[in-house]
A and B are shown apart, each in its own frame.
Chain A
Amino acid sequence: MASIQAAHTANPLIQIEDLCKSYSLQGADGKTITNQVLFSINLTINQGEFVAIMGHSGSGKSTLMNILGCLDTPTSGSYWLAGKNVAALSGDELAHIRNQSIGFVFQGFNLLKRMTALDNVATPLLYAGIGRSQSRKRALELLRRTGLESFAMHQPNQLSGGQQQRVAISRALINEPPLILADEPTGNLDTQTSREIMLLFEQLNRDQGITIVLVTHEDDIAAYAKRLIRLKDGHIILDQHNKASETILDQAAAGNSPMTQ
């Protein structure tokens, strides 16, 4: 955890230069149609930042997120993650990075069905080569911290949306990654639950220095982030410090927040 604590200094965690992404599709007439989604994106995110990426559907924000998460590869340009050129890595090396350096939180939670919350949280550790009993022990500890200890043996379909998303966040955290990528994490949740989840992200960012990159199209969710990036038609059209975050966190502090300073 010590390395992440030091991350408040301005070390670039993510550095993207001239990144383009296009898809080739076979049209109905047999011709190949090239659809460019991202145009020469340049972006630097430092360790410890809390960034919201906004944009309408089709703006390329999900594609950018997939590339940031090493789930997809760019067509051209470079992507440096923690000093490593990810664009040059093999599939298995990318799998290792996803396992060790990135925690994913999805809109649809994406928990493994018919598997207990505990085993869901423990699975990334299994892929890291850690034994089952030790993995479960660490998973239980993490569930305890997110207040879900009593739901450890429940399967996802026995949990509420908010609980499922907290299980997913626990899973994202288990390998202590420096980066969490959240793709519309509150899209399937009600306002109150959304607020709780966002405050949890805010707390992780503030207390543990974990870099959080969030994709959303809702302004009140983006308001929790300290930096706002807006995409339109594959271009970054806005990149600024987010003043709204101070207001909203002040309000949270004034209210009955579960968080302590």
Chain B
Amino acid sequence: MNLLTIIGEALRALRQNRLRTGLTMLGMIIGVAAVVLMLSIGQGARTKINETIAAMGSNLFLVVPGATSSGGFSFGSGSVRTLTINDAYAVAELSSISATAPVTTGTVQLNYAAKNWSTIITGTTPNYFAVGNWKIESGTIFTESDLRSAARVVVLGSVTAKNLFGDEDPVGKTIRITNRPFLVVGVLMAKGQSLTGRDQDDNVLIPITTSERQITGNQFPGSIRYMMVQGKSAGDMDIAEIEITQLLRQRHRIAKGKENDFTVRNLTAIADVATDAAKVMSIVLGAIASVSLLVGGIGIMNIMLVSVTERTREIGIRMAIGANRRAILTQFLLEAMMICIMGGVIGLLVGIGGAWVVSRVADMLIVITVGMVGLAFLFSSAVGIFFGFYPAKKAASLKPVDALRYE
């Protein structure tokens, strides 16, 4: 009996018991759909995190002023303003460092025409855009000469630009920041949320000199909130960290044995942790979903065993008219595989549909890859062969005379 004929026979047998076939298939559908959905959610989370990390910039350090303590009370990091713009320039000279950007921040009220908007203002140097992997949507960034002259120029984050200007092009317009006029020179491309969930696009950037003298003011001239530091290569991050620490200790005249008055954070390492967490999450999700696939497989095995017992006489008749063991084995194995493959295909569609719904309802990024589709298909066939083999083997190893006599 050729394979096509056996497939026909298997389909006929499955059609004869529609409800049972359907219910058995349902186990498979749920299993495959769950696997596809969970994998796509996991993959989506990983993709999202990778995008965020790429947007953050590579080989980054964040250097923040350290915690001080006074009379046994710790004031937390950044509680004193020990870092200065000159520290940032000095760090930039290190051999393992490619660029630095000192940053001051504050909250300001913006006005344009009748609209106003409150946002975070970042005072920094032109290096900030390259270090933080910011791209310009329109216009330009501010320049070194703007920095030197403390010019009233501003670069808008995309969300801020949208809120203040709507569909109007902000470049070349003048906005008021705490009632001082600033020329908009550029608008940033949107980056989305940071790893911590903060909207990175709701901000304005101005030269740090302008900020210090005209906007935030400064209790300690030259001090900064933090600095971004970009290392030259991913492989030398450890060396870079040591060099930064040594240089800053030296500049701050910290005696041996005393604690640093600043903290160097390796953002890339933090990103790696996030990536690992996402990877673990997708593995766990996939594993949980696989359990339902396993249960579906056991359901198939169960029903095939029942089917073999019920059809013992049929098997006997088939053997009497010339079916050999292979023909019987193939027939029952194919029935199990067909349930699995059909269930797998339907489950795949249900899973993709479910992923679409989740992405719409929960506003999550869902990624479905060809590899996942292939995996679901392969997995369901494997379940069919694995759980279908024992019942099929049982059917094929019946003795013709016993099978025929079975009532």
Contacts and interface: CB of A to CB of B under 8 A. Distances in A.
A146 interface: no
A69 to B, nearest CB: 7
Most central of B2, B8, B16, B400 by chain A CB within 10 Å: B400
B56 to A, nearest CB: 64
A66 to B, nearest CB: 5
How many interface residues does chain B have, given as a range? 20 to 34
A129 B1 contact: yes
A127 B8 contact: no
Most central of B318, B320, B399 by chain A CB within 10 Å: B320
Contact of B324 (A71, A91, A104, A110): A91
B404 A127 contact: no
Most central of A99, A100, A111, A175 by chain B CB within 10 Å: A99
A100 B5 contact: no
A144 B217 CA distance: 107
Interface string A108-147: 0011111100000001101111011000000000000000
Given A71-B400, A72-B401, A110-B404, A131 B2 contact: yes
Contact of A92 (B320, B326, B401): B326
A95 interface: yes
Given A113-B314, A126-B1, A98 B399 contact: no
Q: Does more than half of chain B's interface fall in helix, strand or loop, or is it mixed? A: helix
Given A66-B401, A110-B404, A129-B2, A95 B12 contact: no
B319 interface: yes
Interface string B295-316: 0000000000000000001101
Contacts of A71: 319-320, 400-401, 404
Contacts of B323: 95, 99, 127
A248 to B, nearest CB: 29
Nearest to A70: B400
B317 interface: yes
B255 interface: no
Interface string A85-115: 0000001100110111000101000111111
A96 B1 CA distance: 12
A123 B401 contact: no
Interface in B313-359: 313-314, 316-327
A87 B320 CA distance: 17
A96 B320 contact: no
Contacts of A104: 320-321
A132 B12 CA distance: 14
Interface string B374-407: 0000000000000000000000000111001000
Contact of A171 (B314, B321, B327, B401): B321
B197 to A, nearest CB: 61
B407 to A, nearest CB: 10
Contacts of A106: 404
Nearest to A95: B324
Contacts of A113: 314
B8 A98 contact: no
A124 B404 contact: no
Nearest to B326: A92
Contact of A95 (B313, B316, B325, B401): B325
B18 to A, nearest CB: 12
Given A72-B399, A91-B324, A96-B324, A132 B319 contact: no
B141 to A, nearest CB: 75
Interface in A41-80: 66, 69, 71-72
A99 B317 CA distance: 11
A139 to B, nearest CB: 12
A127 B320 contact: no
Interface string B70-109: 0000000000000000000000000000000000000000
Interface in B4-23: 4-5, 8, 12, 16
Contacts of A175: 322
Contacts of A98: 319-322, 400
Given A112-B314, A126-B1, A96 B322 contact: yes
Contact of A124 (B322, B324, B325): B322
B308 to A, nearest CB: 15
A124 B324 CA distance: 11
A110 B317 contact: yes
Contacts of A69: 320
Interface string A151-184: 0000000000000000000010001000000000
A112 B404 CA distance: 12
Contacts of A112: 314, 317-318
Contact of A91 (B8, B322, B325): B325
Most central of B4, B5, B12, B313 by chain A CB within 10 Å: B5
Contacts of B2: 129, 131
Contacts of B322: 95-96, 98-100, 124, 127-128, 175
Contacts of B318: 112, 123, 127
Contacts of A95: 319, 322-325
Most central of A71, A106, A124, A171 by chain B CB within 10 Å: A71
Given A92-B326, A113-B314, A129-B1, A124 B321 contact: yes
Contacts of B404: 71, 106, 110
A104 B401 CA distance: 13
Interface of B: 1-2, 4-5, 8, 12, 16, 313-314, 316-327, 399-401, 404
12 contacts: A71-B400, A72-B401, A91-B324, A92-B326, A96-B322, A106-B404, A110-B404, A112-B317, A112-B318, A114-B16, A127-B327, A132-B5
The 10 closest A-B pairs by CB, nearest first: A99-B322, A95-B324, A127-B322, A72-B401, A92-B324, A71-B400, A71-B401, A124-B321, A110-B317, A66-B401
Given A92-B324, A92-B325, A95-B325, 16 more contacts: A71-B319, A72-B399, A95-B319, A95-B323, A95-B324, A98-B322, A112-B314, A114-B16, A123-B318, A123-B321, A124-B321, A124-B322, A126-B5, A131-B5, A132-B4, A132-B5
